[in-house]
Amino acid sequence: MKFLLIIAAAFLAPAHAESTADRWNLSEIYPSLAAWNADADKIDAQLNALTSSKGHLGESAARFKQCLDLQADLTKRYFRLKAYSSEQVAEDTGNAASLELDQRADLLGNKVVEASAFVDPEILHIGKDHIAQFLHEEPLLSIYRFPLEKTLRMAAHTLNDEGEALIAKFGLMDDAGVSAYTLLANADIPWPKVKLSTGEEITLDASAYTKYRQLPNREDRKKVMDAFFGTFKTYERTIGVNLYSQLKQNSVYAKVRNYQDSITRSLDRNNVPVEVLDTLIAQTNANLATLYRYFRLRARMLGVAQLHYYDIYPPLVHSDLKLPYDVGRKLVLEAVAPLGKDYVDALTYGLNHRWMDTYPRPHKLSGAHMDSYAYDVHPYVLMNYNDDYESVSTVAHEWGHAMHSYFADKAQPFVTSNYPIFIAEIASTFNEELLLQRVLNTAKTDDERLYFLGFALENMRATFFRQAMFAEFERTIHARVDKGEPLTGEALTNVYCDILKRYHGDGEGVVDIDNAYCTEWAYIPHFYNSFYVYQYATSIAASALFAKRVLAHEPGALTRYLDLLKAGDSGYPYDLVKKAGVDLATPAPYQALSARMNSIMDEIEAILARNKK
């Protein structure tokens, strides 16, 4: 059973005038609520049919194929239902009918998981040799070859029918930690009011924090950070208990499924070697000099003698550059030209045929994401376009995901189409690098060039070094819980503080980290999705190498990259990336990312030196 995952990025944007052409067309998924209900009724019928297959999978190749086809079809139907309901909510988060529909979809999804719980144990009972005979007898079973291989590989970690059914029932509680955190952080915490130097008084919730931490006035930034993390300090104990409970749950699942620890279980879902995460952390620490160089350059460009943590978010170069959507759209299409005609044509078609909801409006979901779960339709992109370069970069990013899904769906049957996050962020960050090259090639002034370079540099810091820092924190706290150690909120703060200060060179005088900001861990919701964020860091490292080779016209580089997009979930993600030319268990991609950051800083410093003369 594959799980829904909407790939997202977050940013704020004000309202904007729009036309029908700027709205996505969800009627291509279902023309009406009646059509959605009809498909939901089909799922109920299919669930009964699937349940009747229990105990019969090994009778013959034909019966085996019938059950797998049924499971695949009802899963595909559920994904389509969920895509429609969740994007109805995204259009208008205040629409009660849409919320109810989405809850109905969630309940259906849990029924699908419960009804399918017998399949993997029964496949394991049939055994590798008998499955191989079925594959030989029935050629149409070939589309299931890799999914079956994944199931058989998990034999040592799969329980009997009763055990798997019990775990499936507990699935209803898997999101308890993140649900509690989401309600606390978004609804229940009484956020403080802060009066800025302009006289404006703001309510400092999480959205306001991401906006006002970038203010040009340094004292305002300090007020914002002091108040925001001071609030999290108040709830340090509560959030600590909440996260600790999630960590213990992961540890229990690891033990129940016969894994040595939580990280091995988490990474083994996609057969990713633990060496990948260990190499990422080791190489990030080995290249902290690059990060320190960036922070010193930031201090210089901001004109401050000592950089503080509240100085890391304002842009290096201020820009009033306006990029209306028509301009941004053109830039993105020109940027991806190196990926070939088929890629450009597919992206152009999607942009012209309402695959994207472009502008912000009241009650629309904030941020940006791509949803690819309507397999028989096409991907959908949610944007909140704001006429700036960040918006253009986000368009490139999300359409990188969308084109990845488009080509995977076109090349793969449903059962091997849904690629994991380990690969997903490669396609998005690759497009961001192509966009950077496009705007740098046509920048009219040094100020424009500095702005684009600074934007790219900060993106690399946030996507590579910051996510690797989060990964090291996760690695540390999961290991402690796996050993049976207690972890209070205060203990989590102390662990995070040590890592935060090391990554920012606090001891070397690079960035001064106030202890009050060490409750930042309590602000990060990703920690409730174990060992997820490291994939942002590995992906941007891989995409930097892929982009370098494609742009250099290295023989075979483009074909290997496009084949990776088309591969979907037809192989283990680490192996697919390695086959495309990047081994993420070696230092090379991380060293290449560091080298890329240094080359950007070389260019920035050259421009600064030239303008100083």
CB 243 within 8 A of CB 335: no
Specify the 3-state DSSP secondary structure of 307.
Answer: strand
Give the integer Cα–Cα distance in Å for 474 and 528: 10
Give the integer Cα–Cα distance in Å for 230 and 386: 31
Residue 266 in tokens: 């988490």
> For the residues of 511-579, what is the DSSP string, one character each?
EE--GGGGGGGGG-GGGGSTT-THHHHHHHHHHHHHHHHHHTT-TTHHHHHHHHHHHTTSS-HHHHHHH
Among residues 197, 223, 219, 218, the alpha carbon closest in space to that of 208 is found at 223
Which is the catalytic residue, given 236, 390, 398, 432?
398
Residue 520 in tokens: 């930042």
CB 287 within 8 A of CB 591: yes
CB 337 within 8 A of CB 344: yes
398 given a catalytic annotation: yes
Q: Kindly give, in sequence order, each residue whose CB lies less than 8 Å from that of residue 402, ignoring residues fewer than 6 positions away.
A: 347, 350, 355, 370, 372, 379, 380, 381
> For residue 208, what are the β-bridge partners?
none
Give the single-character DSSP code of 508. Answer: T
Phi-psi region of 61 (alpha: psi -120 to 50; beta: other; left: phi over 0): alpha
Give the integer Cα–Cα distance in Å for 330 and 333: 5
Q: Kindly give, in sequence order, each residue whose CB lies less than 8 Å from that of residue 231, ignoring residues fewer than 6 positions away.
A: 189, 191, 192, 204
CB 272 within 8 A of CB 422: yes
CB 276 within 8 A of CB 504: no
- b/e burial code for range 469-491 (CB count within 10 A of at least 16 → b): bbbbbbbebbebbbeeeebebee
User: How many residues are recorded in the chain?
Assistant: 613
Give the integer Cα–Cα distance in Å for 522 and 242: 10
Give the integer Cα–Cα distance in Å for 75 and 154: 21
Among residues 110, 116, 111, the alpha carbon closest in space to that of 70 is found at 116
Supply the residues annotated as catalytic: 398
